[in-house]
Structure 1
Amino acid sequence: MTRSTGGVLGAQVVPTPVSTADAVTPTVGPEEPTPTPTPEVPTVTPEPTEVVVPTESAVAPEPVPTPEQSASQEPSQPAPTSTSTVDVPWTSDPAVQQSDIPFGAIVVAVLVLVGAAVALTLAVRRARAARAVTGRVGVREPAALTTAIGVLDADTRPTVVLPRSSSDEPTTVLGAVPVADPTRTGPVPADRDPAIDTVRFLLVLGEAMVDSSAPVVQVTQTLERVGAINGAPDAEVVALPTALLVSVPGRTTTQTAASTAGWRQLRLHQVQDVLAVADLAESGAIGPVEGTARIREAVEAPPLYRGRTRVLGYVAVCAGLAMILGGGVLDAVVAAVLGAVIAGIQLAAARMPAAYQALVVLTCAFVASGAVFLLARTGLGIGLLAPLVAPLVTFLPGALLTTAAIDLATRQMIAGSARLAAGGMQLVLLALGITGAAALVGVPAAELGAAAEPLLGWFGPWLGVLVFGVGVVFHHCARRPALPWILLVLVVAYAGQVLGGLFFGGAFSAFVGALLMTPVAMFAATRPTGPPTLVGFLPGFWLLVPGALGLVGVTSILGDSADALSTVVTAGITMVAISLGVLAGIALGSAIGRPGNPGLAKF
C-alpha cells in the first residue's frame, strides 16, 4: 500500500512539470475569475446610484423658487413703471385736458348755442302753424318754404305741364309761362324759338352765380331746375369756375351757348339780388326775358355805400379780426390803421385791368408786412400774427379755398382743382410780399406765429366777432336789414368753433362751427329781412379763417421754417373740415325744411 502510494506519489511527481504547466494555465483560469470581479461591475452600477447625488443637487435648486419669489417681488416695485408704459400708446391727452379756452368763453358759447336753438325751434313751430292756417284758407305758400333744399338733392327737377291751346299751331306754345300765372309772358312769335330765350337766361344766370362764389353743384342744379320750369327739362349744363356751357333742345334744333365766367367778384347785395332772381325763376314766377333783364341789372348795380363808408367798414373788419386772432388793443389799432391804407389802395386800383391785380396783392402784402416788422423792431410789444393777417383779410382766399373743398367733396374735380390752384396762387403772392418785407427789414419770417398777450381777456374775441360782422356789412355792401342775421350766423359759427375746439381740438373745431352756422343761415333766408343762404355764411368762411392758416404756412416755407409743412397740412384739414361741415349742415337743414316740415330755405 505504501509503494502504491509512493508509486502514486512518484507518478505524481513525474507529471508534476507537465501538471505545473497545466497548473499554470488553470492558475490563469482562476486569475480570470479574480479579475471577473463582476461585483466591480455592480460597483459601476452603484456609481449611477451615486448619480442620484446630482438628483440631490437638483433638489438643491429648490431654492430656485426663491428667486422666482424675488422676481415676483421685482414687478411689484416697477408697478408704477408699468402704468407709465400704459401711457406710452397715448400720443396725446384728450382735447378737453389740453384745451386752454377760458371758462367764460365756454359759458358764453353754450348760452349762445342754447339761445339760437330755442329761437330756431320756436320759429319752425310758428312756420308749421302758419302753414296749417294757410292750408286751411287755401293760400299758396311761397316757393322758398315749400321747395326741397339744396346741394345734396339729386334729380330734383320739377315737372311742368304747359297749358294747352285751342289751336294746333306751334305759335301758341308758351315758352316760359308758369302754370299759376299764364298772363305774365305772351305767346312766342312763330319765327322765334323759345329755347333761344331760355338758353340766354340760363347763361346769364349761371355766369352771375359763378361770380357769386356759388359751388358748381349749386349752379348746375339751379340751372337745370330753371330750364325744366321753362319747358326745357332736357337742358344740359356744364359749369366751371371760368366757363359755362348750356345746351337746350328746341323744336327743330338744339340751342347751345358758351360764356366766360368768374372774371369779377360780386358784392353781397349783388349776390342777394342774383339769388333772389334764381329763386323766382325756380318757382316759375318770372320768365327768361324778365329774368335776364333783372340779372343784368343786378350785376351792373353800383355799390350801396360810398367809398368812405366802405373804408371805415374795412377798418372795422381788420380790428375785429385782430381781436378774434387773440391780439391786444395795440394789435387791433395797428391792424385798423393798416386796414385803412389797404382799403385806400384797393379803391385806387379798382379800375385796373384784371391782369394787374396780382401786383396789387403783392404790393399790399409788402406794405402791410413792412410796416408791422418795422414796428416790431421798435420794441412796442406788438404781436406779428394779428396785425399782419388782419389787414390782408380781403386777399385771403378763405371762401375760395372752402368752395374748392366743397366742389371736391361733391365730385366736381375740375372745378375744385381750379379753385384750389387759384387760392394757392393767391397765398403764394401774399407770402412773397411778406417774406420780401421781412428780408428788407430784417425780421425773420419764422416769427409770424408770435402773438402779444391779449388785453381784453376772453371777452375780446366775442367783441371782435361783432365788430367784424358790422364791418363786413358795410365794406362788402350787404343790405342793412341783413345785419342782425349776419351777426347771428357769425356768433353761432364762433360759438361752435369754441366748443369744437374744447372737445375736438383746433382743426375739427371748424367743422363744428360750419355745421352749426349753416342751418341758421338757411333759416335766416326764410325771413322777410334775411339774406340768402350763401350771403349768410360767406362771412362765416372769412371768420373761420382757413386762409390765415395757409398764409402762415406758406410764409413759413419761404422762411425756411421747420413747422411750415405741419401748418400747411393744418390749413388743408381746416378747409376740408369747413366744407364737410357746410355739407352736413345743409343735410341737417334739408331734414328740417322739407315740404312736410317747412322752416328753412333752400341753399
Structure 2
Amino acid sequence: MSVERGVAAVVLTVALAFAVSPVAAAVAAEGSGITRPQVPTPVSTEPAPETPAPTDAATPVPPTDEPEPVPTETGVPPTAEPTPTEEAPAPTEVPVPDEAPVDEPDNTELAPIEPAYADPDVDPVSWIIAIAVLLVGIAVLFLIRRRAPRRRVNEVMPAQAEPQTHAEPAVVLAALESSGEAMIDAGYSVVSVTEALVDIAAANGYPTAEIVVFPTALFISASADGQLRTGVVSSGHSALLLHQVEELDDAIESAQSGALPAAAVPSRIVAIRRLPRPYNTAQRLIAYMFLSSGISMLLGASWAGVLLSAVLGAVVGSLLLAGAGTARRYQALITVGASFLVGVSVFLLIRTDIDPGVLPSLIAPLIILLPGALLTTGVVELSTGQMMAGAGRLAAGSMQLILLAVGIVAAAGVVGIPAREITSAQEPLGALGPWLGVAVFGVGIVVYQCARPASLGWILLVLYVAYGAQVLADVFLGGVLSAFVGALAMTPVAVIVARQRSGPPAIVSFLPAFWLLVPGALGLVGVASLLGGDTGGVSSLVTTVSTMVAIALGVLAGTAITGRVRRGPGAI
C-alpha cells in the first residue's frame, strides 16, 4: 500500500507542475511588461498509462522532468495598419448642358450729383461780395454810358466808305504787311487781323485782296491793272507791351477808315515799336512781385505763401527781364530754369512747419509763363474755322506747359515731395483775400506790361466785373460754366470802356482779365502729375480743356453782343 501511495503522489505532483507552469509564466510576463505568446498546452497522444500490477521487488523510478518552454522576447511592436497618404480624387462633375443665356437687367445707377448751390463749402460771404461788386460795376457803367464817348476815327469815317485816293499796289502791300505783323505781335486773333487788313485794303482801293493769317506768318495778295502783287511776312517774334498795343489800336483804326494814308502806315508802325516804356526795369520788377502776390491770394495762399510768392516772383521776374532780348531759341531754357528754381524752393520749404500752400506758391511766380491765354485763343480760332492757326496755338501752348512741368518734376526728383495737400494753404486769407488779390494783380499787370497809368482804373473795373461774375456763377452753375459767364461779362464791359475818352482799347483791358480767368494753373498741375506718373492728372487736364472751351464760347458770345456797338480791331 505504501508503494502505491508513493507512485500516486509522484503522478499527482507531475500533473500539478504541468498545470501551474503556464499560469506562472503568464504572471511573470505580465509583471515585466512583456506580452507572452500563448503556448498551447501539450496534449499527449499516448494512451494513459495503466496501473501496473503490484510486484514485490519493484524499485521506484523517479519521473523525468520535461523542459519548461521559455518565452522568446521580441522588441518589434505590432505593425499598425497603413494610413493612406493621398487624398481621394475629387469626384468629376457631370457636365450640364449649357442653358440659353438670360439677359439680366443692368442695375448700374448714376452717382447722384448735387447742384452747385448745394455745395456746403461755398462761403456765403464770397458771393455776397460778388453781388456787391457787380452792382457797383453796373452803376459805374451806367454813369459812363451817359457821358459823351470819345469819337473814334472809324466812327467819323466808316471803314466801308469809298477811298479818296488809289494807292499803288506796292504801297498798300507794305501797309498791310506792317499792320498785320504788328497785330500778330500784339496778340490779336487771326480773325481780328484778317478783318482789319481786309478793311485797310478796301479803304485803299483793293477790296479783292486775299489775306491769309497764321500766328507766325502772313500771306497777302493784291491785284490792280492786271498786275498781281504778293507779300509774305514772318511774324510773332517780338511781343508788344500794352502801351504799344494802345497806340497800335488807334493806328489800325485810322488806317481802316482811310484817315491814315497807306504810305504813312509803315512809318507809324515803326514809331510804335520804338516807343519808350513808361516804367523802368526796377519798377517792372517790383510790379512782377505784386503780380505774383495777387495770383497767390486768388489761389488760396496764406500770408506766408503770399510772402514766398513775392520773393520767388522777384527771382522769376529778374530772369524774364534779363532774358527779354534773348533769342527765341533760348526761351525754352529760361522757362525750364525758372520752373525748376521755383519748384526746388517750394519743395524745400514745405518740409518745414511753414504752410505756404503748394499750388499758390508754385503757380503764382510763373503766371506770365503760363500759356492759358494762348491756349484759349487757339480754342477761339478753332471755333471760328481757323483750323491751322488754332491747332498751331494749341500745340505751342501745350509745349509751354510741358516745359514748365518738366522743371517742376525735375525739382521734385532732386528734393523730394512730402505728403501734403497741394490745392491751397490750411490757413488761407479768408473771404476778402481773393478780392484784395484782384487789386494787387491789377496794379502789377498794369506796371509790368507797361499800360498807361490812366488805364489802371478802367482795367481794374474790367477785372472786378469778370471775377465777380465768375464767382457768382460758380455758386449756381459750377466751375466750368462760371468761366463762360466771366468771359461773357468782361467782353462787353471792355468794349464799353474803350468808347470812353480816357479808356484804353478793348484788347488792352481785355488781356489782363483774360490772364485772370484762363486755366493755365490747372493745366500745369495736370501735366506735372502725368509726368510724375500720377494718372490722376488726367482729370485736371479734362477740367482745363472744358474751361478753355467755356471761356472761348463766352468770348464769342460777348463779341456777338458787342459787334453791333463797335467793329474794329479792339472787338477781340
Q: Same fold (TM over 0.5)?
A: yes
Give, in whole Å, the separation in 1 of the partners of 2:108 and 2:453: 55
For residue 537 of structure 1, report the CA deviation from its aligned partner.
1.1
Give, in whole Å, the separation in 2 of the partners of 1:126 and 1:343: 40
**Structure 1 segment 566-577 matched on structure 2, within 5 A:** 566-577=539-550
For residue 303 of structure 1, report the CA deviation from its aligned partner.
2.6
Q: Which residue of 2 aligns with 1:199?
A: 173
Q: CA contact under 8 A between 2:310 and 2:365: conserved in structure 1?
A: yes
Q: In structure 2, do the counterparts of structure 1 residues 305 and 248 end up closer, same or farther at CA, with 3 Å as the change threshold?
A: same
Give, in whole Å, the separation in 2 of the partners of 1:338 and 1:562: 29
Q: Which residue of 1 aligns with 2:558?
A: 585
For residue 583 of structure 1, report the CA deviation from its aligned partner.
1.0
Residue deviations 1:398-446 (CA, integer Å, cap 9, x gap)? 11111111111111000000000000000000000000000100116x9
Partner amino acid for 2:145?
V
Partner amino acid for 2:435?
W
**Bigger radius of gyration, 1 or 2?**
2
Q: In structure 2, do the counterparts of structure 1 residues 214 and 601 end up closer, same or farther at CA, with 3 Å as the change threshold?
A: closer
Give, in whole Å, the separation in 2 of the partners of 1:350 and 1:312: 16
Secondary structure in 2 matching 1:124: helix
Secondary structure in 2 matching 1:279: helix
Q: Which residue of 2 aligns with 1:93?
A: 114
1:115 to 115, 122, 136: 136
List runs of 5+ in structure 2 lacking aligned partners.
Answer: 1-106
Q: Which residue of 1 aligns with 2:5?
A: none
**Structure 1 segment 94-493 matched on structure 2, within 5 A:** 94-98=115-119, 100-127=121-148, 142-145=152-155, 158-162=160-164, 174-175=165-166, 194-443=168-417, 449-493=422-466
Q: In structure 2, do the counterparts of structure 1 residues 443 and 487 end up closer, same or farther at CA, with 3 Å as the change threshold?
A: same
For residue 447 of structure 1, report the CA deviation from its aligned partner.
5.5
| Greater mean deviation of Cα atoms: 268-277 or 467-476 | 268-277
Residue deviations 1:182-202 (CA, integer Å, cap 9, x gap)? xxxxxxxxxxxx111110010
Q: Does 1:561 align with 2:554?
A: no
Residue deviations 1:313-356 (CA, integer Å, cap 9, x gap)? 00000000000001111111000000001111122222221101
Q: In structure 2, do the counterparts of structure 1 residues 437 and 160 end up closer, same or farther at CA, with 3 Å as the change threshold?
A: same
For residue 545 of structure 1, report the CA deviation from its aligned partner.
3.5
List runs of 5+ in structure 1 lacking aligned partners.
Answer: 1-85, 132-140, 149-156, 163-173, 177-193
Q: In structure 2, do the counterparts of structure 1 residues 528 and 99 end up closer, same or farther at CA, with 3 Å as the change threshold?
A: farther
Give, in whole Å, the separation in 2 of the partners of 1:317 and 1:454: 21
Higher helix share: 1
Give, in whole Å, the separation in 1 of the partners of 2:427 and 2:558: 32
Q: In structure 2, do the counterparts of structure 1 residues 333 and 594 end up closer, same or farther at CA, with 3 Å as the change threshold?
A: closer
Secondary structure in 2 matching 1:256: strand
Q: In structure 2, do the counterparts of structure 1 residues 96 and 145 end up closer, same or farther at CA, with 3 Å as the change threshold?
A: farther
Partner amino acid for 2:478?
G
Residue deviations 1:452-504 (CA, integer Å, cap 9, x gap)? 13442100000000000000011111111100011111111110110111111
TM-score for both structures, normalised by structure 1: 0.74
1:533 to 506, 509, 520: 506
Q: CA contact under 8 A between 2:178 and 2:265: conserved in structure 1?
A: no
| Greater mean deviation of Cα atoms: 446-455 or 384-393 | 446-455
Q: Which residue of 1 aligns with 2:16?
A: none
Q: In structure 2, do the counterparts of structure 1 residues 90 and 304 end up closer, same or farther at CA, with 3 Å as the change threshold?
A: same
Q: Does 1:496 align with 2:469?
A: yes
Give, in whole Å, the separation in 2 of the partners of 1:496 and 1:388: 26
1:515 to 488, 491, 501: 488
Q: CA contact under 8 A between 1:241 and 1:415: conserved in structure 2?
A: yes
Partner amino acid for 1:327?
A
Q: Which residue of 2 aligns with 1:153?
A: none
For residue 124 of structure 1, report the CA deviation from its aligned partner.
3.2
For residue 142 of structure 1, report the CA deviation from its aligned partner.
3.5
Secondary structure in 1 matching 2:487: helix
Partner amino acid for 2:553?
L
Q: In structure 2, do the counterparts of structure 1 residues 112 and 403 end up closer, same or farther at CA, with 3 Å as the change threshold?
A: same
Give, in whole Å, the separation in 2 of the partners of 1:556 and 1:371: 19
Partner amino acid for 2:484?
F
Give, in whole Å, the separation in 2 of the partners of 1:303 and 1:601: 22
Give, in whole Å, the separation in 2 of the partners of 1:355 and 1:594: 39
Q: In structure 2, do the counterparts of structure 1 residues 552 and 455 end up closer, same or farther at CA, with 3 Å as the change threshold?
A: closer
Residue deviations 1:109-157 (CA, integer Å, cap 9, x gap)? 1122122223323433445xx89xxxxxxxxx54455789xxxxxxxx7
Taking only aligned residues, the RMSD between alpha carbons, in angstroms, comes to 2.3
Q: CA contact under 8 A between 2:507 and 2:570: conserved in structure 1?
A: no
Give, in whole Å, the separation in 1 of the partners of 2:506 and 2:426: 36
Q: Which residue of 1 aligns with 2:523?
A: 550
Give, in whole Å, the separation in 1 of the partners of 2:487 and 2:258: 32
| Greater mean deviation of Cα atoms: 581-590 or 429-438 | 581-590
Give, in whole Å, the separation in 2 of the partners of 1:448 and 1:428: 22
Q: CA contact under 8 A between 1:175 and 1:230: conserved in structure 2?
A: yes
Give, in whole Å, the separation in 2 of the partners of 1:144 and 1:525: 13
Give, in whole Å, the separation in 2 of the partners of 1:297 and 1:428: 37
Give, in whole Å, the separation in 1 of the partners of 2:187 and 2:475: 31
For residue 304 of structure 1, report the CA deviation from its aligned partner.
2.2
Give, in whole Å, the separation in 2 of the partners of 1:271 and 1:175: 28
Partner amino acid for 1:568?
L
Secondary structure in 1 matching 2:424: coil
For residue 389 of structure 1, report the CA deviation from its aligned partner.
0.3
Partner amino acid for 1:158?
Q
Q: CA contact under 8 A between 2:127 and 2:472: conserved in structure 1?
A: yes
TM-score for both structures, normalised by structure 2: 0.78
Give, in whole Å, the separation in 2 of the partners of 1:125 and 1:144: 21
Identity %: 44
Give, in whole Å, the separation in 2 of the partners of 1:110 and 1:146: 38
Secondary structure in 1 matching 2:368: helix
Residue deviations 1:349-377 (CA, integer Å, cap 9, x gap)? 22221101100000000001100000011
Q: CA contact under 8 A between 2:350 and 2:356: conserved in structure 1?
A: yes
* Runs of 4+ displaced beyond 6 Å: none
Secondary structure in 1 matching 2:316: helix
Partner amino acid for 2:510?
F
Secondary structure in 2 matching 1:297: helix
Q: CA contact under 8 A between 1:383 and 1:451: conserved in structure 2?
A: yes
Q: CA contact under 8 A between 1:326 and 1:461: conserved in structure 2?
A: yes
Residue deviations 1:29-84 (CA, integer Å, cap 9, x gap)? xxxxxxxxxxxxxxxxxxxxxxxxxxxxxxxxxxxxxxxxxxxxxxxxxxxxxxxx
